[in-house]
Structure 1
């Protein structure tokens, strides 16, 4: 995860034109500026278009996050920023944004210095009122228009979803409390016990494997990997605090005391602005509430990083923690009355994937306590060697031809963009199978699924592949290839399976066939 906020890419020409109409109707008409003329309109449109060109793309942001360079590149003091980029009072901005005192000697990491250089040039060349009005329009495009669209007349189901999203956004803790209590204490304890067993089995198998490698070839990489595994935390299902009425009350802002009520007789634009102010007041309440809290504490993570109702398991590098929310423990990731080989193939695989993120590209930039660290040259060399095959071969021959409006587009996965996820994907499959084999050795054989005419290993692979089932439009597929840090389905499934020799053996794939390539990457760990 990243705490850096980047500007949004500007919108289409139509969106810019609509915003210009909004400006003329609601902003310019109110200030009666004699300076505003057709030239100013063109300048503002050019300003918005140029901002779209210089703003870092989503792909650049993802690549920067994956490689961790946002933490290391171009450190500057606040004083350096004040001297280099004079268009912002950085001391005031940072103090307000961080709700803390900022001194001129404090270090700031600038992930996209080129953006600031380009922005500096734009500001030097344009009149102040053009920049001012252009920024108002950018805010309108990014925020106000989205809010207005949400409040526009819509089907009842859409309004219901909108209200639910707003409620979760403004009151995450009480909503989480209702969600957790609805499941019941007994169910939560049962789920926590099952996930704990799976996670501990997988961690034990991975730790044993790395210990053997370290005994045969001692290295700082294996030493750090073992320290991280041995100190790994897991936050499963939900925090016990959600059963505390006191905790819920302390984290529930009272809206009337933070913002005035909405007057339903006012024009719609006033209602939108009032609602935005109310939402901002609630967010400020949360910021004030947690600015002094330990950001790796259990309650902070469950209420500010990932609520129990989020359908997403993840690895939190700042706290060296695997987080599995209650909502994630549902099909197809978790099944109740099924053999263990299905549970290992589904939830077990997800746990393996997230656990391995601690040893991935981003994960290795944090130590066993979750503190940022600089890799040594020896670590860089060994990690580069370990990752070489996945970096260069994992996405080979996964190019797909996609047709959009009779135009054939070659969608080629980027091995660098997806490297961190590919590393976890690659090792997760053999790791999960070894963990199940360990369970099987201790507990004995299990029955086959009724009506499934497959071997146990084939059933394991089938159940495992189903968690990645998805249906994408052609346009979404192309966009995902360009920006997503994960491979698209089914390429993600195919990549993992074809690099695991057990798959080829289980399904009798001929050597040299697409699912049994001549080069298969061995597990890293």
Structure 2
């Protein structure tokens, strides 16, 4: 802790600099990374351990599912074989989707305009886990959380790769990042055509421009992140028959049945679905119908090749190099990540999550730590309950329902036991996934089908612990935690229950300041501007009185204003206070909860807890230092721009700075005077 600090800084002037100043001065962002920080360091350690597990020879302790993970990793790192096969598998893949018109008259291309049907191709690509144009997904019913429902959403993927590319595209063709996207697509097509002829390139550039214009038009009709926070607005339960009468240009029964072709489900006209964005669907169909067929086909095939699973890892080095040039502009990193790391991320974080976690957990988790962490969660729950009871802006009736929701909140600490103890269940979950060590490209395509089928087959099923998907969404090896409002459930992955975040032998002040705040953060998500819309059973339901809602929104606006006025000096841009409000509410609530829980624990010990040698700080000061130091880190300007434009979390500096500004107990602990930067007169408070 001492090595990270700059004790020459006044903690009442800038506590983040006081806590992290030396760390920031002495650490440089590696060329292959967009940031450094405590999360990144721990993530790197976990990936090295995962790599070691994935590279081990298959042994007697392996099960079928873990063998598939090892096979996938082995296929991915075999660059020699991938290079030898070059474009052959990609050509077969393109033709299986009907061909790619942008390639023109290359001998192997099969596209025929008179046979093109965008609805069929959109359904076919959806079966490959591609969410272009529109996204039919199977999800927990927001108003009946006991069952899975079909939901029709807007495009989750645009032609510019990344789930957050909308805000870049809205800036137009002259945006630096959009220009990089254009150059990448032109280079990709020229490689596929195997020519550097300038006349051909000019034609390709025109076709690419049409695709990007189409992409920008789609971005323009998608729903902004600010609007998406109103969950009630995006719940519209229609039968497919009603959908057909209201939006007639698509044969919906044919479309949905093609989507579900791989899971032997027949969709009928009386099926109720959630048409989340009817106006977007109308606008999309109008756009597609006025766009030339070849442009739509070029768009869908581009996404199917470049933003689908691990296909970018399945082609030759020349394709990798042009993708890297795009990434360099978008993310600022000047060196690509090593192959082993890319393959570890693809295998363990995307395709074969739980078997990879099983390999990791076998050697890297202490069950005693799981028990200590569980005890902390119970302490945090008690402190949050006390906070609710003391609120002066919430009436008694709403408090009772809030406390009922808190009591019903479930949790996964570290991992679900079946991952280590039920080989049969794990093997069954992955039995349909076919992996071939000698065929990386085909294995990735199989994986895309597998992931799509795994989600689609849940339609109409009752929601259970086995199929809810929470451990799949956040596998145990990841350095993260989450809250799912539809399940009213928290998960704290094993990956985050270590390092500076948590150690069962650390002083409690440090554990409560780090992982304790993380636990409180996730718990508070159940009561932030989005989580509060769900009841204790995970249903979208208005359980707040109108006066309480009014007071909540007024207090939430304080956070929007506070964080929206923070300027990131490296890029001279302000944080988005609206998009980050849920995280900021959770950070502030989590800190207050964790401090209260620590104080309750300390009282039971009669104050008997040793401090840290070499630091003349009280235990409560250590608590705040531990909290601030989990946010030690820095990011490249490109990553900061992405954060402001598209992400839900502020950067680490303002997560520490803003939260501590609002905390009177912090100012008291460090004797900060009213009017000091860390102790402003006006503070935001919700929970």
TM-score tier by shorter-chain length is 0.7 to 0.9
Is it true that 1:51 corresponds to 2:220 in the alignment?
A: no
- Whether the aligned pair in 2 keeps the contact of 1:76 and 1:107 (CA below 8 Å) is yes
Distance in 1 of aligned mates of 2:479 and 2:684: 31
Tell me the TM-score normalised to structure 2 length: 0.64
Is it true that 1:192 corresponds to 2:370 in the alignment?
A: yes
Is it true that 1:439 corresponds to 2:601 in the alignment?
A: yes
1:135-174 → structure 2 map (5 Å cutoff): 135-143=300-308, 147-148=312-313, 152=317, 158-168=338-348, 169-174=350-355
1:450/1:48 CA distance change after superposition, 3 Å: same
1:226-245 → structure 2 map (5 Å cutoff): 226-242=403-419, 243-245=421-423
* 1:399-456 CA-partner distances (Å, limit 9, x unpaired): 2333xxxxxx431112211111111112221221111110011112211101111122
Aligned length: 492
SS of match in other structure, 1:395:
helix
* Aligned partner of 1:176 among 352, 357, 360: 357
1:72-87 → structure 2 map (5 Å cutoff): 72=235, 76-87=238-249
Runs of 4+ in structure 1 deviating by more than 6 angstroms, as ranges, are 36-41, 153-157
- Whether the aligned pair in 2 keeps the contact of 1:8 and 1:55 (CA below 8 Å) is no
Distance in 1 of aligned mates of 2:413 and 2:215: 43
**In the alignment, which residue of structure 2 is the partner of 1:498?**
661
Post-superposition offset of 1:313:
0.8
Distance in 2 of aligned mates of 1:342 and 1:95: 54
- Whether the aligned pair in 2 keeps the contact of 1:311 and 1:325 (CA below 8 Å) is yes
1:479/1:322 CA distance change after superposition, 3 Å: same
Distance in 2 of aligned mates of 1:463 and 1:2: 41
Larger mean Cα displacement after TM superposition, 201-210 or 291-300: 291-300
1:103/1:279 CA distance change after superposition, 3 Å: same
1:84-483 → structure 2 map (5 Å cutoff): 84-97=246-259, 100-143=265-308, 147-148=312-313, 152=317, 158-168=338-348, 169-183=350-364, 187-188=366-367, 190-213=368-391, 218-242=395-419, 243-253=421-431, 258=434, 262=438, 272=441, 274-283=442-451, 286-287=454-455, 294-297=462-465, 300-301=468-469, 303-374=471-542, 378=546, 379-392=548-561, 394-395=562-563, 397-402=565-570, 409-445=571-607, 446-483=609-646
SS of match in other structure, 1:322:
strand
Distance in 1 of aligned mates of 2:497 and 2:508: 15
Q: Give the unaligned 5+ runs of structure 2.
A: 1-136, 140-152, 161-180, 321-334
- Whether the aligned pair in 1 keeps the contact of 2:510 and 2:626 (CA below 8 Å) is yes
Distance in 2 of aligned mates of 1:508 and 1:43: 64
- Whether the aligned pair in 1 keeps the contact of 2:186 and 2:204 (CA below 8 Å) is no
CA RMSD of aligned residues (A): 3.5
Post-superposition offset of 1:288:
7.3
* 1:297-330 CA-partner distances (Å, limit 9, x unpaired): 0574454222211211111212111111111111
1:499/1:309 CA distance change after superposition, 3 Å: same
Distance in 2 of aligned mates of 1:410 and 1:161: 33
1:248/1:308 CA distance change after superposition, 3 Å: same
**In the alignment, which residue of structure 2 is the partner of 1:510?**
673
- Whether the aligned pair in 2 keeps the contact of 1:16 and 1:48 (CA below 8 Å) is no
